[in-house]
Structure 1
Amino acid sequence: MSESDRILTLRLSKADWELVERLAKSQGYTRAQAARSAIALGARFAEAGHTFNITRAVLVLEYMQAAIDVIIARDHGDVVPQLRAAAKERLATFHG
């Protein structure tokens, strides 16, 4: 630990502890690394004055995807197979 590092001890609910453990396991991190990552992302988001409603975000994403699907299928149906293949390739490349 360097002189600039600080130690923070905190108490987590069982649900939050399990969440940190799942994140650590899925990312190959220690629990401490997972907690630091979550704090870094979440704190900066909150510091900027943002809030996040996961249900609304998913609804907006699904709405946009459905709209794009309808428009492309209607106006450019010939490219749908290529788009699906490209999406699967990107999923494998960027999301393991």
Structure 2
Amino acid sequence: MIDQQRILTVRLSGADWELLGKLADRQGYTRAQAARSAIAMGIRFADAGHTFNVTRAVLLLEYMQAAIDVIITRDHGDVVAELLEAAKQRLATYHA
């Protein structure tokens, strides 16, 4: 069976419209491509019954990062510069 595309029309608030436009510009997408990308990433998550609290997620990420920084600096201070460089390289490679 060939995957047939369907048309979906949605209404967005002005703020969401602007955010979608910024995402599209940043990624070099059309608004439609940006919307499809956002839906594709979120729909499976929502289908699994999950919700997402951005503030909590950021807080947890920052907490874990701070904990790791404390442990590494305390126990392995000699590798801090090397780890920072590796992190920068991974950022450039996977998140550019």
Answer yes or no: same fold by TM over 0.5. yes
Identity, in percent, stands at 75
The 1:52–1:3 alpha-carbon spacing in structure 2 relative to 1, beyond 3 Å, is closer
Residue 69 of structure 1 pairs with residue 76 of structure 2: no
Distance 1:46 1:19 in 2: 20
Shift of 1:12: 0.9
- Residue matched to 1:37: 37
- 1:1-96 equivalent positions in 2, closer than 5 A: 4-96=4-96
What are structure 2's unaligned runs of at least 5 residues? none
Distance 2:10 2:64 in 1: 40
C-alpha deviation, 1:3, in angstroms: 7.8
Q: State the Cα RMSD in Å.
A: 1.4
TM-score, structure 2 length as denominator?
0.92
How many residues are aligned here? 95
Task: Kindly report structure 1 stretches of 4+ aligned residues shifted beyond 2 Å.
Answer: none
Unaligned runs of at least 5 residues, structure 1: none
